[in-house]
Amino acid sequence: MSRLYVLMISRSILIILLFVSFFGLSQDKEVEKKKNYSEFFDYLIDDVFLSVGINRGGIFWSNFYPEMRDDNGFNIGIESYTPIMDKSFFNFGLLYVQNRFGHVPSLVTEDEKIVFRNHSIQAPLYASFELPTMREYDFRFNLGIHLKYRLLTTQERPYPEVVTENGYYHDGGEFFYPESNRLKRFDGGMFFGLSWERSNFFFRLRSASGVNNLYSSEQGMLHAFYIDAGYFLFRAIRNKN
């Protein structure tokens, strides 16, 4: 299956998911609310939470796959959700995300791994569905997309001289050296996972894969697995009232 064909399918799926998510918002239906607030705004504010997490990921389908390594990152931001129909919700947020990956050219050791840090703003947009058998625990399946804007990419250490001075090339092409001016700014991709709420706390496991290659001559795309935890900022205040 060609890379172009895979990208076309991925982007088509993203468009469909985005349409379905926003179509749900336009439905004029009564929804079940967990709390007796008369105003939509009250419900929305009640479910704002601070989200923090760790992630591990790298680049898949890279031209330099044998030399690429996954690495650890972190994320922090604000998220919320609102009901769109019976027992389903539309989730959204804005996160600062640092995803890392490493490169180990064949002329260096694992200890000399070159680590790259991608600093970006991520907007998760997804629908969450309460699972019938675990409704009382607010256990939900999550499916949607994430949009990402890369702020900058930093490099932990320079390539060693054994690489740069000996004209190291991979399969006759330029070795992996993503200079900031050629890295692509925008990315997006599939988002799926499981979440759980307990009192004022929120927990989530999710996976996200990009659809845009890192730069024009590199076919690899970013992917990561996330473990998130959150705290609902206003529920405790409202419960006291």
pLDDT band at 19 (very low <50, low <70, confident <90, very high): very low
Q: Which two tokens stand for residue 172?
A: 């006759």
* pLDDT tens sequence across 89-110: 999 999 999 999 998 887 788 9
Mean predicted confidence (pLDDT) in 216-236 = 87
Q: What is the CATH number of the domain that holds 86?
A: 2.40.160.20
Q: Which are the contacts of 209, defined by CB distance < 8 A and separation ≥ 6?
A: 60, 189, 190, 221, 222, 223
* pLDDT tens sequence across 156-169: 888 887 777 765 55
Residue 36 amino acid letter: N
The total of structural domains in the chain comes to 1
pLDDT at 41 over 70: no
Task: Say what the pLDDT of residue 21 is.
Answer: 47
SS3 call for 48: coil
pLDDT band at 198 (very low <50, low <70, confident <90, very high): confident
Query: Do the beta carbons of residue 18 and residue 125 sit within 8 Å?
Result: yes
Compute, in degrees rounded to 10, the torsion defined by CA atoms 144, 7, 183, 59: 70
pTM of the shown model: 0.77
Phi-psi region of 167 (alpha: psi -120 to 50; beta: other; left: phi over 0): left
Residue 65 amino acid letter: Y
Task: Say what the pLDDT of residue 235 is.
Answer: 77
Q: What is the DSSP letter of 158?
A: P
Q: Which domain holds residue 60?
A: 3-240
Task: Say what the pLDDT of residue 206 is.
Answer: 96
CA distances from 182 to 47, 125, 228 (A): 39, 27, 31
H or E element at residue 17:
helix 3-25
Looking at per-residue confidence, does 107 or 133 come out higher?
Answer: 107
Task: Say what the pLDDT of residue 211 is.
Answer: 87
How far, in Å, CA of 213 to CA of 228, rounded?
A: 26
